[in-house]
């Protein structure tokens, strides 16, 4: 069964610095899709970035980028030039390929606090 693990419960950084959040996953499928979302204080869940397992290049969107290490089953999220409004809970998620993709598994989340 697929599994997603985020070991960092919370991280505190000073604004304008770079932060990395870890995520490791387990799957028997050769094709899978990895996502990062953030949940704001209001409960809203916002999609940030995705990585498809067959792509070698790390995805980048704005000040979010991924460190995809397939041999280690790892997909880290890197936020550069952090801002106060980046404070939120960040979730890593995985979908397997084919009909297995209807089950989307989330990690336990990492709370990020960005201070002035």
Partner 1 sequence: AQTIHQWPVAEIKAVGSPLSLGCTIKGKSSPNLYWYWQATGGTLQQLFYSITVGQVESVVQLNLSASRPKDDQFILSTEKLLLSHSGFYLCAWSQTSNERLFFGHGTKLSVL
Q: Which stretches of the chain bind partner 1, using CB under 8 A?
A: 33, 35, 37, 42-45, 47, 50, 52, 91, 93, 95, 97-109
Residue 30 C-beta: closest distance to partner 1, Å:
13
CA atoms of 95 and 74, how far apart (whole Å):
14
35 vs 68, which CB is nearer to partner 1? 35
Residue 43 C-beta: closest distance to partner 1, Å:
5
62: left (phi over 0), alpha (psi -120 to 50) or beta: left
Residue 33 CA, distance from chain mean position: 11
63 vs 103, which CB is nearer to partner 1? 103
Residue 105 C-beta: closest distance to partner 1, Å:
7
43 vs 116, which CB is nearer to partner 1? 43
Give the HSE-up count for residue 102: Cα atoms under 13 Å, Cβ half-sphere. Answer: 1
30 vs 99, which CB is nearer to partner 1? 99
First-to-last CA distance in the chain? Answer: 42
Residue 106 C-beta: closest distance to partner 1, Å:
4
Quick check: helix, strand or coil at residue 52?
A: strand
CA atoms of 91 and 110, how far apart (whole Å):
7
């Amino acid at each position: 069964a697929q599994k997603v693990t985020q070991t960092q419960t919370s991280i505190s950084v000073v604004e304008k610095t770079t932060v990395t959040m870890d995520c490791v996953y387990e799957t028997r499928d050769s094709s899978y899709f990895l996502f990062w979302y953030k949940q704001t204080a209001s409960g809203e869940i916002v999609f940030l970035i995705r990585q498809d397992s067959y792509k070698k290049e790390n995805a980048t969107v704005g000040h979010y980028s991924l460190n995809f290490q397939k041999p280690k089953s790892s997909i880290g999220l890197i936020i550069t030039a952090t801002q106060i409004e980046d404070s939120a809970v960040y979730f890593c998620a995985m979908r397997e390929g084919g009909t297995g993709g209807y089950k989307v598994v989330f990690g336990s989340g990492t709370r990020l606090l960005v201070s002035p």
